[in-house]
Amino acid sequence: MKMRPNVKPRPRAKRGTMKRLIKTVFSFYPRLLPLTLICIVISSAVASMPTIFMQKVIAEIELALKNSLGWGDVGGNIIKYVIMLALLYVLSLTANTVYHQLMAVITQGTLKKFRDKMFAKMQELPVKFFDTHGHGDIMSYYTNDIDTLRQLVSQSLPQLIVSAVTVIVLLSIMMYFSVWLGLVVIVGVMIMLIVTKKIGGGSARYFVCQQRAMGKTESFIEEMMNGQKVIKVFSHEDAVKESFDEVNDALCADATRANTYANTLGPILNNIGNILYVIVAVAGGIFLLGGATNLSISGLAFSVSVVVPFLNMTKQFTGNVNQVSHQINAVVMGLAGASRIFELLDEEAEEDDGYVTLVNAKEIDGVLVECRERTGIWAWKHPHKADGTVTYTRLRGDVRMSEVDFSYVPGKTVLKNVTLYAEPGQQVAFVGSTGAGKTTVTNLINRFYDIEDGKIRYDGINIRKIKKDALRRSLGIVLQDTNLFTGSVMDNIRYGRLEATDEECIAAARLAGADDFITRLPEGYGTMLTGNGANLSQGQRQLIAIARAAVADPPVMILDEATSSIDTRTEAIVQRGMEALMKGRTVFVIAHRLSTVKNSDVIMVLEKGEIIERGSHDELIARGGRYYSLYTGAFELD
């Protein structure tokens, strides 16, 4: 079997991306950027000035030869021009140094600010975004796209400005010296631009394809790295190598075509520039020998002092046009990366129109009041817009779903007309076949997704009115897929409640049954975890996740296959801790091991998104229906 990547295609840059990028960078550095632009203009303009002084010096020498003058007659003027040129070079060097120093600050600062904005935006995005985008593709925002943006901001855009200023200054000087020779150069440059558009356009297309292929390759590698154990278990090393060869060949083909175009453009433009140089020299010679009238702003007649500097300007002019053509590919790639970054920043944030918040409270004379200290009593703070009053409702953990319909994709119903309730302190279990909708129910309770129809109420409050962070803070969730972060074991447990003390974290670990194996680790609670806890067993990782939920001490718990990766003996230990953890809390349990839900107050049997049975374990067994067949049949995994 061939493993093919599934990555969202990398689109072309949208219209207006360059304008938005420049506007954004200006907003980051409203003072430094104008100063940098001034330095670029000064440096570029001064770099074009030597031609004027060359003309002046040659004119002085021509005058001396014509009138048989000595150094004493013209030397003073020549030295004056040399000193002026030296001063201009010092000014250019200073401006150039300042420009490069400021550009380093602006470039790295811009990338940092973009990464900050991207990461902050990702924290606002709904779970749906991460469910529909590959991890490799998301990572490419921070790698490929940021790198192309770095190239664009640090090199391509400054070089374009340098070339543009140089070309404008040179064209002005050319017209000042000779309109006829200037027109010859302009015709040659127009030919260069036509060639650049023809060849550069094809190069740009293939460079965008190269970026897309690179994203696919990175995504494929990331997927295979995560799946190395599975690959080796099924001995698919050769098949995976064959699949990677296909992806890599596609990248190589796109990159080869892109660079073939790019490598062809340079030599062609260089040769056109050389031919133009020869044409200008021939035209200048013809004008000199023919005694043609020079049309110019300066009023200078055709002479060697005009033609020789003009040849130098022609070389410089075509060189800058060539530089612009070389930057086209980097600009296209950079704009494609910037366009993707802006698309990420423009993604719709997770909707949250709730206004009911969760606060610590204490009871005084039978009335709940808000309290800053942690009291163990939680209350919903409900502001009323009509009269400006605020009421407090004790968080009890009463969750009710009424006639709920939901689908991840329009037209494909996942839950249909689901009605259930969990009274405070009840343990409600969901069982059923894979894909029946068990996890979806819990996803709707914590509003990872919003329902299409029906109502979900939490302590009598529509959950749409509750702010999402408050809602989720009231829920402790232990998922089947455990995620641990780089840091110590203590840090990962404390992640459930960042202000928890070491003693509270250790107590939570003991409650979950994790203390025994943690104390046997090389550095105990200080043992560092990396790679999602790769140095721990799956069961140990899940015990830490349970301890993390325990230290949060939430009033409602959602256990989604929380003990699925724990052996039977460890499960018995954990179950005792879980019973203590669940005491007095509303608990939703999803389990394939039906023995773990036997003691639940209510068991819901889901099939194809509908609740087909509900009741206690004994009631459902006596009924002899679907639950009975699951409990006594092959589905039971205990």
Provide the b/e sequence for 583-596 (b: ≥16 CB within 10 Å): eebbbbbbbbbbeb
Q: What is the pLDDT of residue 3?
A: 46
Tokens standing for residue 468:
């999402």
Contact 620, 605 (CB under 8 A): yes
Residue 169's identity, in one-letter code, is V
Q: What is the pLDDT of residue 13?
A: 60
Q: What is the pLDDT of residue 114?
A: 95
Contact 330, 156 (CB under 8 A): yes
Query: Per mean pLDDT, which range of 202-211, 516-525, 599-608 is the poorest?
Result: 202-211
Alpha-carbon span 108 to 114, nearest angstrom = 10
User: Tell me, what CATH number does 443's domain have?
Assistant: 3.40.50.300
Q: What is the pLDDT of residue 228?
A: 76
- Residue 592 pLDDT level (bands cut at 50, 70, 90): low
Any bridge partners for residue 174, and if so which? none
If asked whether residues 328 and 381 sit together in one domain, one would say: no
If asked whether residues 460 and 330 sit together in one domain, one would say: no
Tokens standing for residue 194:
């036509």
Average pLDDT over residues 427-452: 86
Q: What is the pLDDT of residue 202?
A: 62
- Residue 102 pLDDT level (bands cut at 50, 70, 90): very high
If asked whether residues 390 and 405 sit together in one domain, one would say: no
Contact 141, 344 (CB under 8 A): yes
DSSP 44-88: HHHHTTHHHHHHHHHHHHHHHHHHT--HHHHHHHHHHHHHHHHHH
| Domain count for the chain | 3
SS3 306: helix
For residue 540, the surrounding DSSP H or E stretch is helix 538-552
Average pLDDT over residues 246-273: 79
SS3 380: strand
If asked whether residues 333 and 367 sit together in one domain, one would say: no
Q: What share of the chain is helix, strand, coil (3-state, %, to 5)?
A: 60, 15, 25
Q: What is the pLDDT of residue 305?
A: 78
- Residue 47 pLDDT level (bands cut at 50, 70, 90): confident
If asked whether residues 365 and 412 sit together in one domain, one would say: no
Q: Regarding beta strands 586-590 and 427-432, do their DSSP bridges make them parallel or antiparallel, or are they unpaired?
A: parallel
Alpha-carbon span 145 to 209, nearest angstrom = 13
For 14, half-sphere exposure in the C-beta direction (CA atoms, 13 angstrom radius) is 11
Contact 400, 420 (CB under 8 A): yes
Query: Per mean pLDDT, which range of 198-202, 339-343, 346-350 is the poorest?
Result: 198-202
Say whether pLDDT at 538 is over 90: no
- Burial of residue 371 (CB within 10 Å: 0-12, 13-18, 19+) is middle
Alpha-carbon span 90 to 46, nearest angstrom = 10
Closest CA to 356 of 462, 268, 283: 462
Backbone angles phi, psi at 141, to 5 degrees: -60, -40
SS3 299: coil
Say whether pLDDT at 210 is over 60: yes
pLDDT digits (tens, 9 = 90+) for 452-463: 899 999 999 999
Q: Mean pLDDT for the chain?
A: 82
If asked whether residues 456 and 537 sit together in one domain, one would say: yes
First CA to last CA distance, the chain: 32
Query: Per mean pLDDT, which range of 189-193, 422-426, 451-455, 541-545 is the poorest?
Result: 189-193
Q: What is the pLDDT of residue 5?
A: 45
Q: What is the pLDDT of residue 565?
A: 60
Any bridge partners for residue 590, and if so which? 430, 560
Tokens standing for residue 53:
């002084």
Give the 3-state DSSP-derived string for 239-294, with helices as H, strands as E and coil as C: HHHHHHHHHHHHHHHHHHHHHHHHHHHHHHHHHHHHHHHHHHHHHHHHHHHHCCCC
Say whether pLDDT at 229 is over 90: no
Instruction: Identify the residue with better confidence: 226 or 463.
Output: 463
Does residue 12 sit within a domain? no
Q: What is the pLDDT of residue 546?
A: 85
For 330, half-sphere exposure in the C-beta direction (CA atoms, 13 angstrom radius) is 18
Residue 502's identity, in one-letter code, is D
User: Of 313, 346, 379, which marks where a domain is finished?
Assistant: 346
Say whether pLDDT at 637 is over 80: no
Cα→Cα distances 297→307, 311, 380, Å:
15, 18, 81
Tokens 């050389």, residue? 274
Q: What is the pLDDT of residue 109?
A: 93
Domain span at 455: 399-632
Average pLDDT over residues 282-292: 78
Alpha-carbon span 624 to 617, nearest angstrom = 11
Percent of the chain past pLDDT 70, that is, above it, reads 88
Contact 25, 153 (CB under 8 A): yes
Helical residues (DSSP H) of 291-349, grouped into ranges: 304-346
- Residue 308 pLDDT level (bands cut at 50, 70, 90): confident
If asked whether residues 411 and 369 sit together in one domain, one would say: no
Say whether pLDDT at 253 is over 50: yes
SS3 383: strand
User: Tell me, what CATH number does 160's domain have?
Assistant: 1.20.1560.10
Tokens standing for residue 172:
């002005």
If asked whether residues 337 and 455 sit together in one domain, one would say: no
Specify which of 109-113, 313-317, 322-326, 395-399 reaches the highest per-range mean pLDDT: 109-113
Say whether pLDDT at 7 is over 60: no
Tokens 């207006």, residue? 16
Does residue 429 sit within a domain? yes
Q: Regarding beta strands 378-383 and 390-394, do their DSSP bridges make them parallel or antiparallel, or are they unpaired?
A: antiparallel
pLDDT digits (tens, 9 = 90+) for 344-374: 999 988 888 889 998 888 888 778 888 887 7
Q: What number of other Cβ atoms are within 10 A of residue 400's Cβ?
A: 15
Specify which of 235-249, 261-275, 612-626 reaches the highest per-range mean pLDDT: 612-626
Query: Per mean pLDDT, which range of 198-202, 414-418, 506-510, 610-614 is the poorest?
Result: 198-202
Say whether pLDDT at 16 is over 90: no
pLDDT digits (tens, 9 = 90+) for 556-580: 888 887 666 666 666 666 666 667 6
Does residue 637 sit within a domain? no
If asked whether residues 264 and 407 sit together in one domain, one would say: no
Does residue 363 sit within a domain? yes
Any bridge partners for residue 369, and if so which? 362
Does residue 6 sit within a domain? no
Between vectors from CA 622 to CA 621 and to CA 625, what angle results, nearest 5°? Answer: 60
Give the 3-state DSSP-derived string for 206-234, with helices as H, strands as E and coil as C: HHHHHHHHHHHHHHHHHHHHHCHHHHHHC
If asked whether residues 162 and 103 sit together in one domain, one would say: yes
Alpha-carbon span 99 to 103, nearest angstrom = 6
Specify which of 190-194, 305-309, 378-382, 594-598 reaches the highest per-range mean pLDDT: 378-382
Q: What is the pLDDT of residue 11?
A: 44
Tokens standing for residue 104:
């380093």
Does residue 325 sit within a domain? yes
Does residue 572 sit within a domain? yes
Does residue 328 sit within a domain? yes
Q: What is the pLDDT of residue 292?
A: 67
If asked whether residues 87 and 157 sit together in one domain, one would say: yes
Q: What is the pLDDT of residue 573?
A: 63
If asked whether residues 527 and 545 sit together in one domain, one would say: yes
Alpha-carbon span 545 to 540, nearest angstrom = 9
Q: What is the pLDDT of residue 8?
A: 43
Say whether pLDDT at 498 is over 90: no
Closest CA to 452 of 492, 412, 479, 423: 412
Say whether pLDDT at 466 is over 80: yes
